[in-house]
C-alpha cells in the first residue's frame, strides 16, 4: 500500500455510463427492499445519480485497500437510505453484488442502517439524524489539522435539517474553514410523515447554510453535468465548506413512487416490484427469486 499518496480517482466514465450505473443502483434498491419486505426505497431511488457520480467519478477509494488512510470518505448521515450506499459499494467492488439480497436479514452485515466494521467502505454507523454530518465535520477537521489531502463528503436531507445538531455542525465547519468538507443535501420535500413543509418547514436550507458562511450551490440532483460541475467548483473552494443543495424527486425512476411520501419507508409488493423493475429495464422483471446470483450479476 502506497501511503505517500491517496488512491487514484475512478476510471473515467462518460454520462451514458454513469446513467447506466444509476439505473443499476435503482434496480438493486428495488430488489433489496422487496427481498427484505421492508426498508426505504424512495430516498435511495432519488439519490441514484448522486451516488453513481460520487462513487464512480469523484471519490478516491481503493476497494482492495478500503482502509487506506488517505482515502476520501463518505458519511451517509440519513442512514435509513443505506440501500443506495450498499449498492454503490458493491458495484464499486467492495463486496460481491450477489450478497445484496441479504439486505435487512437476520445475521447479514447489510442491516437497515449502516454499521461500521461490518462491511468495507462504511465510514460511520448512522441513523440517529444529525450525528453523521457532525462526525463528517470532525473527520474534515482532523484531516485539515494533519495536512492530509483527504476530502470528506456527507449526505444529508431536508428532513434531517429539522434537527438541531446539523446547525451546530454548520457553525463549526464554517468557523474552522473546512474547505475539505462537501455536504450534499437530498432536498426532495418529503419525509416519513408527509411533506416537510407541513411537518416542520425547514425553509430555504441553502440560504441558511450561506448565512453560516458556506459555499452553496443549488443543483439538479438528477442532472449529471450539473452535479459534476458543482462538485468541481466545491473542490476548488478550499477556504470554506461547500453545500450542494440537490433538488431531487423521491422514488425517481419508478412512476408510481415518484413524489409519493408512502414510499419513503414502504417496500413494494410483488406486482409493484415487477412493475418497477420493468420500468427500470431489468432483463428479468418477473423473476423475484432474489437469491439467484444471476439477477445481481447480469
Q: CA 54 to CA 34: how far, in whole Å?
A: 25
**Alpha helices for 54-176 (secondary structure H):** 82-92, 131-145, 165-175
**SS3 state at 99:** helix
pLDDT (mean) for 173-188: 98
**Grid cell locating 91:** 458495484
Contact 30, 41 (CB under 8 A): yes
Q: What is the pLDDT of residues 214-256, one digit of tens each?
A: 999 999 999 999 999 999 999 999 999 999 999 999 999 999 9
Q: Is the dihedral of CA 124, 86, 236, 214 positive or negative?
A: negative
Contact 54, 81 (CB under 8 A): no
Proportion of the chain above pLDDT 90, given as a percent: 95
Q: Is the pLDDT of residue 4 over 90?
A: no
The CATH number given to 15-297 is 3.40.50.970
**Grid cell locating 25:** 443502483
Run of H or E residues at 216 = strand 215-220
Amino acid at each position: 500500500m502506497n501511503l505517500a499518496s491517496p488512491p487514484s480517482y475512478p476510471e473515467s466514465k462518460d454520462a451514458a455510463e454513469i446513467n447506466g450505473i444509476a439505473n443499476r443502483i435503482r434496480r438493486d434498491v428495488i430488489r433489496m427492499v422487496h427481498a427484505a419486505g421492508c426498508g426505504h426505497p424512495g430516498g435511495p431511488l432519488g439519490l441514484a445519480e448522486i451516488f453513481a457520480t460520487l462513487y464512480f467519478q469523484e471519490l478516491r477509494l481503493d476497494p482492495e485497500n478500503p482502509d487506506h488512510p488517505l482515502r476520501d470518505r463518505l458519511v451517509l448521515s440519513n442512514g435509513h437510505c443505506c440501500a443506495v450506499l450498499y449498492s454503490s459499494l458493491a458495484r464499486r467492488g467492495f463486496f460481491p453484488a450477489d450478497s445484496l439480497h441479504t439486505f435487512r436479514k437476520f445475521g447479514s452485515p447489510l442491516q437497515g442502517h449502516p454499521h461500521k466494521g461490518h462491511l468495507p467502505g462504511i465510514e460511520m454507523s448512522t441513523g440517529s439524524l444529525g450525528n453523521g454530518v457532525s462526525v463528517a465535520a470532525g473527520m474534515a477537521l482532523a484531516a485539515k489539522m494533519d495536512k492530509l489531502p483527504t476530502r470528506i463528503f456527507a449526505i444529508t436531507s431536508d428532513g434531517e435539517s429539522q434537527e438541531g445538531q446539523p446547525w451546530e455542525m454548520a457553525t463549526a465547519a464554517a468557523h474552522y474553514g473546512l474547505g475539505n468538507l462537501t455536504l450534499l443535501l437530498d432536498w426532495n420535500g418529503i419525509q416519513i410523515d408527509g411533506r416537510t413543509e407541513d411537518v416542520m418547514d425547514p425553509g430555504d436550507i441553502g440560504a441558511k447554510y450561506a448565512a453560516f458562511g458556506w459555499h452553496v450551490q443549488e443543483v439538479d440532483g438528477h442532472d449529471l453535468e450539473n452535479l459534476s460541475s458543482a462538485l468541481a467548483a466545491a473542490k476548488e473552494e478550499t477556504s470554506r465548506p461547500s453545500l450542494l443543495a440537490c433538488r431531487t424527486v423521491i422514488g425517481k425512476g419508478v412512476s408510481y413512487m415518484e413524489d409519493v411520501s408512502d414510499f419513503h419507508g414502504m417496500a413494494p409488493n410483488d406486482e409493484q416490484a415487477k412493475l418497477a423493475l420493468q420500468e427500470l429495464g431489468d432483463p428479468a422483471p418477473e423473476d423475484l427469486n432474489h437469491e439467484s446470483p444471476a439477477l445481481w450479476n447480469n
